[in-house]
Structure 1
Amino acid sequence: MKRIDKVYSRLCEYKNQDGVDANTLSEALGLTRANVSFDLNRLYEEGRVMKLSGRPVKFIAGINVNSLHKGVTSELDRLGKESPSLKTVVDHAKAAILYPPKGMHSIILGDTGVGKSTFASLMYKYAVESGVKSKNSPFIVFNCADYANNPQLLTAQLFGVRKGAFTGADQDREGLLEKADNGILFLDEVHRLPPEGQEALFVFLDKGTFRRVGDPEDRTSNVLIITATTENPTSALLKTFTRRIPMTLRIPSLKERAIDERLGLVKTFFREEAARIGHEIHVSMNLMKALLMYETTGNVGQLKNDIQIVTAKSYAEFLTGKRSKVELWSADLPLYIKESLFNERGYRDIWNRLFEDDLDSFTFGNGSKVQSLTTKENTIYDFIERKIGELKIRGVDEKEIDTLMEGYISEFVSTYIEKNKDGLTKANLANIVGSDIMELSDRIYSHAISNLGIQYNGNTFVALALHLFALLQRVNQGSQIENPQVRVIKRKYPEQFAVALECLNMIRISTGLEIFEDEAAFLALFWLPADETIKAKDRVRIVVIAHGGSTASSMVDVATKLLGESWAHPIDAAIEVSPQVIFDRLRKHVSENPTTEGYLLMVDMGSPTNFGMEIEEEFGVHVKTLPLVSTLHVLDATRKAISGVSLDEIYRDTIAVTPQSMIPGLYQNEEQAARYVILTACLTGEGSSQVMKSFLKSNLQYNKSLFEIMAINAIDRESLVSKVKRINEERPVVSLVSSIPVEMDIKSYSLTEVLSLSAIKEIQAEIDLKTLIVNMDQVLKDVLVSIKEDGLNYRVHDLIKGMERDLKSVIPSDMLPGVIIHVACMVDRLVSGEPVTPFEGKDEYISGNWERYDIVEKALAGFAAKYGVKVSNDEICFVMKFFEKDE
């Protein structure tokens, strides 16, 4: 027997899934360690053994997965067949699932967008197909990034909670380990698990037992754990944790795969799109070539998204009759993909090998149902069909639908692709502004270069594209800005202004929008020589405050690189740093960087949203606060500040181009600011307000992720009312404890009422009610049959509050939760098609309460229309009864 066969035979005798290292085998065989190590690595290259992560390197005998699973071709097998670069990782993944007795915990490595989540789901499907897991076994996905900064909440999510373990734990709750019993738990972005989370989890991996938070009882769960990360596990994870994850599966990036394999992916994605829309897709040869050549910084994920988006646009035109079939041409591609065709000559040999000589197009679908290799993501098609359906119901004619859909799709596309954080390429910019604006920017950019004879750098193009994006958003919303420097620019830079007018006409023709001539003055600024600028005596200062170790710095760094000037100032608010320290940093910056034009604070959440008031009072300067921040907002605001735009205009424009989903209102995420605020206030100084804040925190029971007790001060009664109103606009103020009486629609208490505890019971009751309403989100999901959506509790609550205002009748607090459930269930019954319960004496009741009927009918009709149903007179009468006094 050869030495290598002896090594393999002895390795097979070890049944420990922790593996065996070369030193142990060498001692058992009486061979040198060097020879055994050499043979083990040869066996690994031949695919007969597997390496486990950690040091020293350990090996286990490979499982012959084909012999264990004969006659069944899984989706995992098909992936390995269509993507040769994944053949080894697929075999190892199958071995990890089949390894006796319960499988082998795994970690999936790979860059963003390579398909780690999809691969984990295919491993689960393979476990079911192979009979290792039952068809009803759970597959639970948990993104560790969601709770990275809250170890206690993360522990509660993983292990569960015993009632009374901490404030807000009002019932026993299962953790993910229990929910995933006899199934698979997938922990995505596992590198975001804090050390406490890793330590808690590896205890379970070691012993197979765990305890709920606050519970002394040991519990067990039969869970196979799959993790995934974009980071190097040796540096991003604890060694004690990685040692307990024996199987490492690395998925190569798209750049590392052969072009044949990329062609297979492109074909697969088009087949999936054909299956989703239920129509054949006809694709030109040039478009196929472009998809094979362009640089995808977002890996397989970006390739898939780009294919889906270009298909969606053609599908929309097919639905509106603009195209007779779903066909795609290279002209349909955004510029950053289409420009790859300029390099086609270098690929000629590859095209000859891949494609037939007489082939000029591809057809996908052929009327057959395609089984997807990836998770279903047909949101964009649902969006298109829903929008077209809505427009047709409203009686909009076909030509107008076609025009409107172009704008709707562009808006959808601009937020559809996940923003790529690595690199500032045109592809990334297109993901922000959309392909249409990229193409328009390219035409304007080229026109200016050819007419002015100046070579502009990439920063100019980026700034122009962002400017056009903001401009068109603003004009579409009926708002345009006057440029006070039109005459100065026209006189000082006549050549640039003339070209800018031509560019303005190009924009008008391309968009069909009427845009003021003032815009030409803005465009002319882009064509100035590098050493020229419109000097302003002073400019607005931009300050970005965001939670995290480098969140604000990263956004400001992007703005600085793209705009070529360092103007925005970042303040990184690490979670462990107190708000006072962050405020002191802001004060220092304002003190050292004075401006008469004011400051724009761009903040993400929490206490910094209130810093502006303090800065205004201390420094006597105008401050505006935007309670939202993203790279796009920082770019646009900073560019305007550099150009000398006023503070009010920057603030108004940034709000105008903000998607509604980014405007604070519903604070449902644990990492966002608390949803409700309780204010303590005093005049001059913070003495009594801080004392009252501490007193309330000691005497009230509340969930800190839902409620924040905030101390404020003011110089007089008018200033206090103004502050409270501004805070209430951003987050509802539950109650105000003040040293002076104020006339407001907010429940207020005096210091005496609170210190004597007479008001504590009322404030606690309001906290309990709002907490109950928040928790009703999950209750409604469990109870309702047809409507399953996040935030329904808030929407119904807002509906009821609106009726209360219009009817001038307030529903008692103890009844409000029941009314919310009644209205939600009513709409759910209508969606489900269930019969309506008759209201006895309906006609007489309506005739005697016409005013109330009219208000309730209009409110319910608007709400129900969102779900495509109509509320009957009977249902309206039942809701009217809730607003009768003394009932």
Structure 2
Amino acid sequence: MSFEAVNRELREETQAISDLSDINKITTDRIAENLHLSRTTVSQYLNDILKKGDAIQIKSRPTNFINRQIFSERFFSPKQTIYPSVASLIKEQVRQKNVFKTFIGNQESMKEIIERLITAENYPPNGLPVMLSGNTGVGKSYLAKLTYQYCVQEGLLKKDAPFVVLNCAQYYHNPELLSSNLFGYAKGSFTGATADFKGMLESANGGVLFLDECHRLNPESQEKLFSFMDTGNFERMGENAVSRSSKVRLIFATTENLQENFLQTFLRRVPVAVTLPDLNNRSKAELKMLIFQTFIEESRRLQRYFRVAPWIINHLFNLKYKNNIGELKTTIKLICAHAYSQDQMNSDIEISSDNIGNSLLQRLTAVNNQEEICSEVVNFTPESRLTDFVDTTISENSRVNDLMTHLCDVEGEFQNDKLTAAMVIEIISRESRALMDEMVHRDKRDHNESLKYLINIIQQLFDYLGSSLFVKIKGNAVIAFASFIYLKQEVDLALTVKAEKSVHNLLELAKQNATVEYQVLKSFLELIKTKLDFRMGEVDKLLLLGYLISLNLNYKTSNKHAIILAHGYSTASSIADVANQFLNKKIFDSYDMPLNVSIQQVNDYIQQYIHKNDCHKGLIILVDMGSLMVLPDSLKANINGPLLV
């Protein structure tokens, strides 16, 4: 009864908050006082609710809790279960709400590009100039407009700030006309200049100037532009004595090689350059979303219902698009236009081989090696949403990316003494467990032969670890590890240098605080590398270690420590394995020493071993050579228990 009362009170408290700052009010003490229950009882029930996934915990002081469902309905859907602070929760809300979410691939192939654009635009006072590179049709113009909308949304620009576009290719054969349109001109500065003219640089004051096909800028115009980027000042043509200024954000776009088409002095003034990938280099999931989204857009534009034959969707999916997204959209537009022209009076139009035109039909049917993504007729309406057709839920790639962003925030809180080591380990453990559980419960995984093979291999490895390390790995660990390895081929993380450092620090912290689990992981990684030639980076190790910590491993070991030191490949480890097997308990660790190892190197290893293990009840060292009998002299000062060599 008390559990239900606490759960109900948490829901009511969450419903009552007006903004995220009110979360600080929802504490264990507050709920205990409201319900006249002990704080210990309420704390236990809140943690039970958290374990069920029905709550979110804020590890501030005091700790705060909110009901996940109600909070998600009222504000946004948090991706994590535990946050180090309300500020980190707010950060995620900001990341989720920005306009870049409409850009397909914002959490996968375009994630790093968007993050760099956000960084550039937030640089005070007027952002940093940006260069968008990429082949025709990859989405440069659309991304430039979204960048402008982001600046307006975030208050970096006023709501009525101008977005001015200059296509430099239009003036390719007349560089003077290009310069006059860009910088403006004074009356009488050339024949036909009958009045003063405000250039686009001036018209874009307070907003964004987007220069498309900017490789068409001649060297003189590039020099004028980089002078403007340095000073914020420029001159109209024929107005040498008058200096004008404009506060404008510059976005450039080009299809050409930067080093071959721009002055180095110009490129140095554009510190943020990103290259948008070709459509053929983006994920299949993104291609599928682009196809369905384009049909939705055409349905809205023509205000018609489209019933599209599945073979058309499948052939569009398998086509190669030389001109990228632009060509894909044009192809679908022509398909819809041709069908519409033959049946304008009908609000429900069927799109099949009968009404898409011969040229389009020939192009689609010429596709070989077809991969099917659709088996039934697809109905598009003006009210359709992408989520009606395509699973846009977060993929493993973006899920892991978001989790690592969260854990990097946690590491920052730890470095600033806002979280203890124990709190950090708990967060790593809980979030890693949540991620692995998601992977285990993905639909249709158990029907995949590759996954079945992995499960069989990992079961063998876990059986071996159980007998050699005397550890019992329970639950869905085999399936979780297999799913993780199976899905790793889909996850391509590109961490920043800062994030790599944070991950490294977290992994070292976890190693120090979970020596048993790390020993299991280390042994597993050695086995999987030998068995499948499979290697893992620090992100993988951190997530798997966090998961192992969450399992509360049953580890049968001795409260005394012993280590075997022997020269030669696997000599010590083989002796230790056999001895532990006979004793049915993990007593002996091992150190396989190369033949040329120095006494100092051995001493350093033992010192590290003592540091990582509680040896106050004693340490036994078995050695294979008399020269190592000198070890006690250097070790006695660093061990607080008996030592036998």
Q: TM-score, normalised by structure 2?
A: 0.44
Task: Identify the structure with bigger relative contact order (alpha carbons < 8 Å, sequence gap 6+).
Answer: 2
Q: TM-score, normalised by structure 1?
A: 0.32
